[in-house]
Amino acid sequence: MRLKKFRRLGRRDDVSADELAQMQHQLDEMALREITNLVERMPSVDGAKVLRMLPPDRSLAVFDVLDPAHQAELVSALGDERVVAYFDSMGAEDRVALLDNLPAQIAERLLQDLDEDDQRVTNVVLGYGKGTVGRTMSPAVPDVTPDMTVREVVEMLRADVEELETIYTVPVIDEDRTLVGMVSLRRLFRARGDETIGEVMYEPESVHAMDEDEGAARWLMSTDLLAVPVVDEDERLVGIFTYDEAQDVVEQADTEDSARVGASEPLGKPYLSTPVTQLVRSRVVWLLVLAISATLTVKVLDVFEETLEQAVVLAAFIPLLTGTGGNTGNQAATTVTRALALDDVRKRDVFHVMWRELRVGMMLGAVLGLLGVVIAGLVYDTNIGLTIGATLFMICSVSATVGGMMPIVAKAIGADPAVFSNPFISTFCDATGLIIYFLIARAILQI
């Protein structure tokens, strides 16, 4: 009800003072989570009006948790000095994520409005390519050296707590900014104030700024670390990569994979706040590609038209066989894509994966093929049963092998493994499955 009411009032230009006061009162009573959900479900123009009605601190808190693509649309809709305040209060990595979604002219203006220090740290992040840890990290880290005392570091963290991305994991550097150790907030609290950091620090874990962000994020989330230092090629400290940032990277990657597995492009923002035209654009290209690729299946049916005319019953099993092949290939592709993401499988394992999936496919084909022989043999005749059984065995074997291989091949050529999974594998398995089916039918039925 609140959503409908706010939308209705937000679209009117003649909102009375009483109605405006009522809306303001409702927003004052709502929790930040409720307001965030409200803004996410509204068109950007209406969402911008809600943000303007909030006090600056609550407005900033809501804006900060929105997706970068949604933030970019709100920036265009707001178009006032409040945008500058939002931008100024964001961390460098969040600024960069927003800049990537803004038109160049607006992005340049916002950068120019930053003070010199904020421009410097933001440009550090902008200097790294998209998809790297450097593009996602926070450059806001304290300069802690081994000769500093625990008391000095605690006072430094207390003074800079609002500026730092995290105080729970603190990198330790030497005079050349080379990473030499780590110290946790727990260790600082346990140590005496006059002890040096060199006495309490421990061996550091680190990632490189040019590493792939998704791989580093999944690794970090598999550990018990809250953050990990980011170093350059000379092992000098350039930033810190936190667990929260890793979660955002993995969530975005999983969202993209889920969309592309379903033959669509990721929206980048909540569904209800996405214009219908953008929904269409996210799907139409994939549908056109799949429609064109599906002509392979039509061509196969055309080639074996005479075979179908001599045994019309074969047509009844086409949906079963093509569906089984597509599902088998998709299962294998999904499993291997997930293994690639977790670094359980690497590009050099392609032949090992093919051999494993071939055996899996043969076992699945044997089970389904035996059922096909029995059921089709009883309903029709023995030769039809043998044809269906042999085809199921072959289709499962081929589909599982191809499905397991495709994501690795995609990664090897620099493509997204998810793109090569369900949509294209289904089309490939349809065409090859029909070829296998009709060749087996000709051999067994002698047609």
Looking up residue 55, the CATH number of its domain turns out to be 1.25.60.10
- b/e string for 293-321 if b means 16 or more Cβ within 10 A? beebbeebbeebeebbeebeebeebbeeb
**Residue 329 and residue 384 in one domain:** yes
Is residue 335, in this structure, part of any structural domain at all? Answer: yes
Q: Which three-class secondary structure string do you get for 344-379?
A: CCCHHHHHHHHHHHHHHHHHHHHHHHHHHHHHHHHH
The pLDDT value given to residue 1: 46
CATH classification at residue 424:
1.10.357.20
CATH classification at residue 249:
3.10.580.10
**Residue 122 and residue 196 in one domain:** no
**Residue 396 and residue 316 in one domain:** yes
**Residue 190 and residue 77 in one domain:** no
**Residue 30 and residue 122 in one domain:** yes
**Residue 120 and residue 181 in one domain:** no
Surface-to-core class of residue 333, CB atoms within 10 Å of its CB (0-12 exposed, 13-18 middle, 19+ buried):
buried
Is residue 269, in this structure, part of any structural domain at all? Answer: no
Is residue 137, in this structure, part of any structural domain at all? Answer: no
**Residue 217 and residue 281 in one domain:** no
Number of domains the chain is built from = 3
**Residue 183 and residue 123 in one domain:** no
Residues of the chain where predicted confidence (pLDDT) is lower than 70? 1-20, 79-82, 105, 259-273, 286, 289, 293, 418-423
Is residue 204, in this structure, part of any structural domain at all? Answer: yes
- Of 200, 228, 262, which residue constitutes the final position of a domain? 262
**Residue 303 and residue 437 in one domain:** yes
**Residue 94 and residue 165 in one domain:** no
Q: Nearest 5°: phi and psi at 203?
A: -60, 130
**Residue 290 and residue 421 in one domain:** yes
**Residue 425 and residue 310 in one domain:** yes
Is residue 296, in this structure, part of any structural domain at all? Answer: yes
pTM of the model: 0.65
The pLDDT value given to residue 265: 66
Q: Which domain holds residue 179?
A: 150-262
Collect all residues with Cβ–Cβ distance below 8 Å to 347 and sequence separation of at least 6. 408, 411, 412
